[in-house]
Structure 1
Amino acid sequence: MTNSQSNRGPGFLYNLYQKRLRRGLSSESLPHHVAMIIDGNRRWAKQLGYETAAHGHRAGAAKMREFLEWCDDLGVKVVTLYLLSSDNLSSRSTDELYDLIEIIADLAEELSHYRDWRVKRVGATTGLPEPLIAALDAAEARTAQKKGLHINLAVGYGGRTEIVHAMRSIVEKHHLTGGNLESLAELLTPDLIGEHLYTSGQPDPDLVIRTSGEQRLSDFMLWQSAHSEFYFVEALGPDLREVDFLRALRDFSRRQRRYGG
């Protein structure tokens, strides 16, 4: 066997297939906004025999940095990462939550110094420790003037809570201007509610991806995903490959989107 033939192993075929997938995508067919539910980190750590879930969460965070590079290189404009739900704050053990909070703070710090990326926190601060809030706010302030990939870090996030907060904000503003209940009812529209969500001013996600094979939203972007396309990947979060992402984009490009149909 010649050297050139020996180099054409599984890695060569994988790279060839990856390039083929990438060539098959056009800029017109790509989603503008991709939302990612990173799931399976704990199962990944357990399967590999690690004593704590922190190993899985660190591997998942590293994979999300890689995932953002894939998106940026292809021209995706907005990415939302679901990192910590409001439900997680009460359902996870204290030790796991402590580790996860530290990992998220480190990720926000890292992303804020990388490329021309702009970082924004989306979610409520209720139940979040002050050091994490400070780290997320610092990353947002540090990147506020950047023009590259817009990254939403959904931390302490809950879709139903977001809608409640939006409605409260609308009611409070209306009350302060002296409005009554009847005039408020006339004002309420989907666009007005959208303007008071955490993602105000951003396009809704075109594509929502979830890893680990689970097929549920888990209270993620309930309002914004009304017309989104969904794609579920069997791979656990840390095992996600660029090929998996490219397949998701290929599948998205082939779908005929029906808004409300």
Structure 2
Amino acid sequence: MTPTTLKRASLTEQAADAAVDQACRMLRLPTIRGQFPDMADQAAREQMSYRGFLAELLMAECDDRARRRAERRFKAAAFPRQKILRDFDFSANSNIDPAMIHTLAKCEWIKKGMPLCLIGDSGTGKSHLLIGLGTEAAMSGYRVRYTLAAKLVNELVEAADEKQLTKTISRYGRVDLLCIDELGYMELDKRGAELLFQVLTEREEKASVAIASNESFSGWTKTFTDPRLCGAIVDRLTFGGNIIETGSDSYRLAHTKSAQKQ
């Protein structure tokens, strides 16, 4: 092969690379655009077929898109910290059935729009389970949003004052799973409780709500001072759903005491 032929072949490869780059920009294929040169060289070395090479490119793009979608869903969920079910110490709390948690992690209850209640004292793993199950849902393709009960009520009150309540309730109504943590930690005034009730009503039997509370249902009258409203909220959060009681023995306290002894 003469130098002229080599130069012509090199230019042809450069033109092909430029065409692929431009096409990937137009078609919005960033992964193929970034990996094409290296993957093309590897395909040549391994004498890969055209079909095999095309399949490798498209699979790389699909995998990367799935990863980016999962990252966006996780970011949109607004979890305060990373908590995954794999890290949960089931041996530290005999009240929690691992089989039930693993079943919930399959997200069938979310698909059916069923509620979930995690009830127990502080330090018994409620928030870990709430975030962990929410993370599983986000990774499975569901739209998830995490919030503290007090923060949600404050947001609803501000939205009502600014004539944006309908828009805000609709936004919370669109997610597949709404995780409300620390429900019952503080008393809500009648207006705040009524606004929260509107969010729950918007989602009733359509989309799942998961809550974590340090109060048993009988103690919710401290949070929702109107008995009728309290009963209606409990009804919406329990009908057809799962209730997990995490008990009263604090894992954090036991862990701290054990560390001090050691």
Q: Tell me the TM-score normalised to structure 1 length.
A: 0.33
Q: Tell me the TM-score normalised to structure 2 length.
A: 0.33
Larger fraction in helix: 2
- Considering Cα pairs closer than 8 Å and 6+ residues apart, tell me whether 1 or 2 has the greater RCO: 1
Larger radius of gyration: 2
